[in-house]
Amino acid sequence: MSSDRELRAGAAALGLNLDERQCELLLSYAALILKWNKVYNLTALRDPSSILTHHLLDSLTVIEPLAREWPGRAALLDVGSGPGLPGVVIAIMRPDVSVTCLDAVAKKTAFVRQVSAELGLPNLQGLHARVESLAGSFELISSRAFASLPNFFAGSKHLLADGGKWLAMKGKLPQDELAQLSADVDVFHVEQVQVPGLQADRCIVWARKQPA
């Protein structure tokens, strides 16, 4: 199956050696996106190859950096997750991370719950709510093009555990947004990433609360 080969080759370019189960789960997830997309309009992308590069491989770019920044167990909140990006991919690749995909659109979180049930992912849940009104504590809070960095950090700050980290996936290096951050946010690392098969700028912004 060509998509299997393309997925493995793309993952390998990111330093990831997918096992059979990971590959099967990722491709099943892509198939569910395509299936549900017809009814729920989860994403503007409509063909398998675009889902593979723009969603799966794009989300897989965070796995190696995440292993470096947080190698152990954690609770992760994926804000504005949509159909579960990158949250579902993280849940598949990191069974030790409990992933909550948060979105304000009910049909998208219903889809994530369906993915969790169909793929047998006990560490994945979908939650329909707005981040500002949510309570709880998470070691990791991620987003993928959800909002500007100032809004993302301000809206989720009350949910970040002491010692926790933000992981913001962005396109081009957001210099203007970085310049607008409040003094209580410490951006400690910004790394450029390359999505295999995608000619586009991508970066990951890592941040934490500034020590008092």
- Dihedral sign, Cα of residue 118, residue 121, residue 122, residue 127: negative
Range(s) of the domain holding residue 92: 2-209
CA 157, 162, 165: angle at the middle one, nearest 5?
65
Give me the pLDDT at residue 1, please: 42
- pLDDT, tens digit, for every residue of 66-119? 999 999 999 999 999 999 999 999 999 999 999 999 999 999 999 999 999 999
At 51 the pLDDT is 83
Dump pLDDT digits (tens) for 53-80. 888 999 999 999 999 999 999 999 999 9
Q: Residue 144 above 90 pLDDT?
A: yes
pLDDT band (50, 70, 90) for residue 44: low
CATH number, domain at 81? 3.40.50.150
The predicted model scores a pTM of 0.96
How many structural domains comprise the chain?
A: 1
Phi, psi of 101 (to 5 degrees): -90, 115
86 preceded by a cis bond (ω within 30 of 0): yes
Separation CA 19–CA 205 (nearest Å)? 28
| Mean pLDDT of the region 17-27 | 97
Alpha carbon distance 109, 126 (integer Å):
5
